Structure 1
Amino acid sequence: MSEVPPRAATAAALLIDALRRAGVRYLFANFGSDHPAIIEALAADRERGLQAPAVVLCPHEYVALSAAHGYAAVTGEPQAVLVHTDVGTANLGGAVHNAARARVPVFVFAGLTPFTLEGELPGGRNTHINHLQDTADQHALVRQYVKWSYDIRTGRNVPQLVGRALQLATSAPAGPVYLTGAREVLAEEVPVPEVAADRWGPVARVPAPEAVVDELIADLQAARAPLVVTSYLGRTQSSVDKLVAVAERLGVPVVEYNAEVLSFPHDHALHLGDDPHPFVAAADVVLALDTDVPWIAASAQPPAGAKVYVVNEDPLQESIPLWYLPADHHVRADSGLVLDQILDRLPAGEDPRAARRAAEAAAAGRRIRAEHERAAAADMAAGRLTPATVARVIAGLVDEETIVLNEAISVAPEVWKHLPRTLPGTLYGNRGTSLGWSGGGALGIKLAAPDSTVVAIVGDGTFYFSVPSATYWIAQRYGLPVLTVVLDNGGWNATKRNLRRQYDGGAADRTDRYWVNLQQSADFPGIAAAAGQARGTTVTRFEDLEDALRAGLDDVAAGVPAVVSVRLDPISHQAEDPV
């Protein structure tokens, strides 16, 4: 069946058809005055029985892009985000930063203000806002975050532009792309070009040079204290088992630093937690595998003479202006292929050196986990509401297949220490730094994994940033129930911590004047209930925690979004400035 008229179509119809043919399933849309031709094309599709791509209405653009980001994080498949001219593009805000830093493929389309104003062409300016939305360079709002941006200038090559956009978005390193089109162009009726959607695939994955792989294997085999540091190898879920196999065969421990996904099972004997610095400082071979910042140079560095390998799709982090990591080899390669290369070259049989390294690493891992246990046990025994006790209680209520998002920021490491995940695809974080991603991100993940229980753990500041009025409206409208657990410490702890790192004991620290105090007066479950009929409660006593969390999990199992807000000790008691 032909999915567009056989001889002619509008540019807007060709745009939608090209996305459909490329496999895009969802349009996360916030429509505006620039989209009449697109809306008409979608309506005509529905009349002809074409239901894809499905439209997911999003009252805020930040949530729309975050949802597309979450969907791509699970599936690797780019979805489309439609926004309104310059103002809708501006409302994407930090979400486009997140998508860029996380290297997720997303297709963003925005209209441009009409370029005729005397009735010369269909779609020309017809309201005063068309003048006010005319900017000198709309693309500048996102240019430093997108891999490619362009403007549709004629409908005659729209399928080719969509093909190029998605090809660039999905080629490593993946990322968002941005396409625009004015109303006059979108309304243009043109002959339908013949374009094969299956000939616009991403660039092929690249292995490492064989000589480098052989040198890496030899160095790891001979090492006294080797170390693998990773943050997002598990984005390709099949790579997790490969890393486990390499680590076991070579007796090499793994640290997940600032984990975006699960890259190594947390209960594995060779897992050494999330802090690389004690081990980096003593390592003689370090493999930085799919990680942006394997260690903080001001905290620890490998000793002189240590061999360092950086393996990444972008080993020089070309999108970050100030970044460097001295290494013996910077290797631009696909991590999964590199692990295959290592496994293919490893000789059969037991290696006593590997067994010794594995035993030493396992002992270190046991010490780390024992310390975590002691810290949490003390809080549990005392009945304190802390990130550790909340994570421990959640861990006792969910199964190993539950998907957990962690955007708790300053206490995110505490969450992973006490809520360990073991299966690929059950842990997600945000490699970007624009807080609030988990609101829409959790919805996109639930959309991609509808049969999974999804739990998002956030801070109170994160909850505000997530645009909850839009997040919970979408959750209720489209049946995307997620349990959100808010760790409410009454403010921005990351800001306080950074102040103390730089001015410990200074005037702000001595007098509790951090200006981070958000109080603990907001009814977070009430906000979600008002926006999307979510259920929930606020917990102020440890003895009520388990029942509240259990009820929240029951709610999402029944298809209802839920929010459990947990009041922790406040980080500041600063009085407000008089205003």
Structure 2
Amino acid sequence: MVLTTSSLFFHTLVQVGIDHVFVNWGTDHPAMLEELERQRATYGAHTLTIVTSPNEMVALSAAHGYAQVTGKPAAVIVHVECGTQALAGAVHNADKGRVPVLIYAGASPFTTEGEHRGSRNEWIHWMQDVHDQPAIVRQYMRYTAQIGSPESLPHQVRRALQIATSDPKGPVYLWARRETMEQEIDASLLERPITLAKWPTVQTPALSPSAVREIADALVGATSPLLITSHLGRNHGAVPVLVTLSHALALPVFVTCASATNLPTSHPFLVGFSYLNAGSQTPLLKSADVVLVVDAEMAWIPMNKDKEGAYERPSETARVYVIDSGDPLRRNIGMHHYDTDLVCHADAAVALTQIQEAIGTRVANEFSRRTVRIQEMHRAWKAQLDTTESFQVAPSPYTTPQIVSTLRKVINARGIARESTLILNESISSYPQVWSHMQPEMAGEILGSGGSSLGWALGAGVGSVLGGRVAKKGKDNAGYELVAAIVGDGTFLFGVPASAFWMAMRYQTPFLTIVLNNGGWKTPKLSMLGIHPTGHGAGAVGDQLTVGFGPECPDYSQIAVAATNGWAWGRKISVSVAIATDKSAEVLLRETIEEAVRVVVEEGRCAVVDCVLESI
């Protein structure tokens, strides 16, 4: 029996609690493949769950979704510098989303004449040898290191995971030459204890006493306070604390650039969602005298103006306080700044609890008047949502509110519990509408990637179903009953659907995909209109602007069907299909989504509904 550094690597992953590895094999992994077969021959099974991933970005997106759901890292194995580059935008998403993932890549052999086992014996070993492989991803990683010997490997893996799981959490990258991973080792290396017991995650700090006093006093004395957050809800323990604090202070909450469920939609002081397009900021920001920003990606965009031409930012006299659990100064961003009175590095749940305790029973007369005013804003917002969900009498293209609300109603009608449901939102130009119309109530009910590189949701669908089972999610602790990804048509293609749906079939991870099909990339067109509202392109359609996919768009649902040899179910619907089948658009949409949900829940297969919207 030959044991190698690769044997020790897999053994170490198991010992430190990693159980799923998303892999894309190459010529740098012979020792790993041999080790897996040794395990099969010796134990009858692998010690790790190996998830074959035909595309590297899908592999990392799946690991990303897995980590979001379970709260613990998965591992990704890729091939030399080529596979490292093929991780593509998923690296950005894991970084910006603060998701802990351990990435391992092999590297071309460094010997050429058989000096060590694993020496160069294929022509690509010369072509794939670059002078600084980790530089490809270093600025996105929390830690990069070369594994130089089997003896150092357990320490490097534990150091990498300690950093990956400490705020600001994020991906780490280890790499090794082929000869290193082929090196024979003594069995005693596998007998030593390898745990994380003495490699703890760094504890996130609390607010200083002076910061607690200043923020609490400011909130109690405020006439028009406002709290803004993006991803406070990644820490599930912070959500009930925010609920309590908001009630206590009649504190309105506005969510910008959401990537987590931060507050129940029914909460009377939630006043809306925005991804900060000009004119979409809450009017409360301009009138606020105290603004508390907690775990926000961006709280406002300084140059944006509303319809009246007023800047959508705090007044110069407003007091602004920023609390962030990871990196409040955004050191990895070239330019980032708010005019603030206080910037604090603190855990959101801890900080808000401190503020709540400091406020105690202090109540101002303004609270009751503010309560009435903010609750009326919340009711008006919800009523406006209801209005946009309705179907017009005259046939017209489907809208995102109609589609998303129909999905919500179908889920409710089937009696699928909220804790058994997960929505993955990568709808881009429809981001805020999905958050609003799905109406989440529980922490973790809806997730976004946390980044801006498109193509996360399909891979995350695979990873989140796997992670849901491991984390015993759902009403019966058996995993989610329904995972649904809501994506744009451009996002669907970025997600490498052939690989993602094949993986779903191979590993029996069924999820529903709703494609919001507007015929191309709407966001670039909106960006152009934001700078050139009356320019040459203002009246141009998407295909003319070269941002469209027409006139003959792909049949997205059948891509999934073909990739799985008929295992996945798919259907394309539009108002014209409704007319042709003598059904109302509303009935066709409801029946199609009902059938799609049934396929996923009862038959355990993926389902894709391609919903045609108004074309760009």
* Counterpart check, 1:445 vs 2:464: yes
Give the corresponding residue for 1:577: none
Partner residue of 2:9 out of 7, 10, 15: 15
Amino acid at match of 1:364: M
CA distance in 1, matches of 2:238, 2:376: 25
* Counterpart check, 1:536 vs 2:570: yes
Give the corresponding residue for 2:345: 332
Give the corresponding residue for 2:595: 551
Distance verdict in 2 for CA 1:381–1:404, change over 3 Å: farther
Give the corresponding residue for 1:35: 29
Distance verdict in 2 for CA 1:131–1:459, change over 3 Å: same
Partner residue of 1:523 out of 555, 558, 578: 555
Can you list the C-alpha shifts for 1:531-551, whole angstroms capped at 9, x where unaligned? 122101000132311111111
CA distance in 2, matches of 1:314, 1:381: 51
- Helix, strand or coil for the counterpart of 2:537? helix
CA distance in 2, matches of 1:381, 1:262: 35
| 1:515 shift after superposition | 1.2
- Helix, strand or coil for the counterpart of 2:273? coil
| 1:349 shift after superposition | 6.9
| 1:332 shift after superposition | 0.7
Asked if the contact 2:150/2:185 (under 8 Å) is kept, the reply is yes
- Helix, strand or coil for the counterpart of 1:456? strand
Amino acid at match of 1:446: V
In the TM superposition, what are the counterparts of 1:429-578 in structure 2 within 5 Å?
Answer: 429-450=448-469, 451-452=479-480, 453-512=482-541, 513-519=544-550, 521-532=553-564, 533-541=567-575, 542=585, 543-557=587-601, 558-571=603-616
* Counterpart check, 1:306 vs 2:301: no
* Counterpart check, 1:369 vs 2:382: yes
* Counterpart check, 1:427 vs 2:446: yes
Amino acid at match of 1:515: T
Amino acid at match of 2:440: R
Asked if the contact 2:483/2:511 (under 8 Å) is kept, the reply is yes
- Helix, strand or coil for the counterpart of 2:557? helix
Asked if the contact 1:379/1:389 (under 8 Å) is kept, the reply is no
CA RMSD of aligned residues (A): 1.7
Distance verdict in 2 for CA 1:417–1:16, change over 3 Å: same
- Helix, strand or coil for the counterpart of 2:202? coil
Give the corresponding residue for 2:97: 102
Asked if the contact 2:397/2:612 (under 8 Å) is kept, the reply is no
In the TM superposition, what are the counterparts of 1:78-227 in structure 2 within 5 Å?
Answer: 78-191=73-186, 192=189, 195-227=194-226
Amino acid at match of 2:101: V
CA distance in 2, matches of 1:383, 1:446: 35
CA distance in 2, matches of 1:319, 1:35: 33
Asked if the contact 2:59/2:459 (under 8 Å) is kept, the reply is yes
CA distance in 2, matches of 1:92, 1:168: 21
Amino acid at match of 1:303: S
Amino acid at match of 1:337: V
CA distance in 2, matches of 1:349, 1:130: 70
Asked if the contact 2:271/2:378 (under 8 Å) is kept, the reply is yes
Give the corresponding residue for 1:278: 283
Distance verdict in 2 for CA 1:120–1:217, change over 3 Å: same
CA distance in 1, matches of 2:69, 2:337: 30
| 1:430 shift after superposition | 2.0
Distance verdict in 2 for CA 1:380–1:344, change over 3 Å: farther
CA distance in 2, matches of 1:505, 1:539: 34
Normalised by the length of structure 2, the TM-score is: 0.89
Can you list the C-alpha shifts for 1:303-335, whole angstroms capped at 9, x where unaligned? 011111110021101111111112111101111
Normalised by the length of structure 1, the TM-score is: 0.94
CA distance in 2, matches of 1:194, 1:396: 51
Unaligned runs of 5+ in 1: 572-579
Partner residue of 2:57 out of 47, 51, 62: 62
Can you list the C-alpha shifts for 1:64-121, whole angstroms capped at 9, x where unaligned? 0001111111222011000000111111000001100001000000000001110110
CA distance in 2, matches of 1:383, 1:502: 29
CA distance in 2, matches of 1:307, 1:215: 11
Asked if the contact 2:302/2:313 (under 8 Å) is kept, the reply is yes
CA distance in 1, matches of 2:297, 2:32: 39
| 1:350 shift after superposition | 5.5
Greater CA drift, 443-452 or 19-28 = 443-452
Give the corresponding residue for 1:574: none
- Helix, strand or coil for the counterpart of 1:46? helix
Can you list the C-alpha shifts for 1:182-222, whole angstroms capped at 9, x where unaligned? 11001112351654432112111211111101111111111
CA distance in 2, matches of 1:167, 1:9: 27
| 1:344 shift after superposition | 2.7
Can you list the C-alpha shifts for 1:4-38, whole angstroms capped at 9, x where unaligned? x9xx9421111111111110010000111111112
Q: Number of matched residues?
A: 565
| 1:474 shift after superposition | 0.4
Distance verdict in 2 for CA 1:229–1:43, change over 3 Å: same
Greater CA drift, 12-21 or 547-556 = 12-21
Can you list the C-alpha shifts for 1:391-434, whole angstroms capped at 9, x where unaligned? 12111111334211111101121222222111111111122111
Partner residue of 1:404 out of 411, 423, 431: 423
CA distance in 1, matches of 2:390, 2:136: 49
Percent sequence identity over matched residues? 36
CA distance in 2, matches of 1:262, 1:289: 14
Unaligned runs of 5+ in 2: 275-280, 305-311, 413-417, 470-478, 576-584
Asked if the contact 2:27/2:79 (under 8 Å) is kept, the reply is yes
Give the corresponding residue for 1:44: 38
Amino acid at match of 1:121: H
- Helix, strand or coil for the counterpart of 1:33? coil
Asked if the contact 2:233/2:262 (under 8 Å) is kept, the reply is yes
- Helix, strand or coil for the counterpart of 2:327? coil
Distance verdict in 2 for CA 1:320–1:472, change over 3 Å: same
Asked if the contact 2:98/2:168 (under 8 Å) is kept, the reply is yes
CA distance in 2, matches of 1:220, 1:45: 60
Asked if the contact 2:220/2:363 (under 8 Å) is kept, the reply is no
CA distance in 2, matches of 1:219, 1:104: 33
Asked if the contact 2:391/2:402 (under 8 Å) is kept, the reply is no
Amino acid at match of 2:316: A
* Counterpart check, 1:291 vs 2:290: no
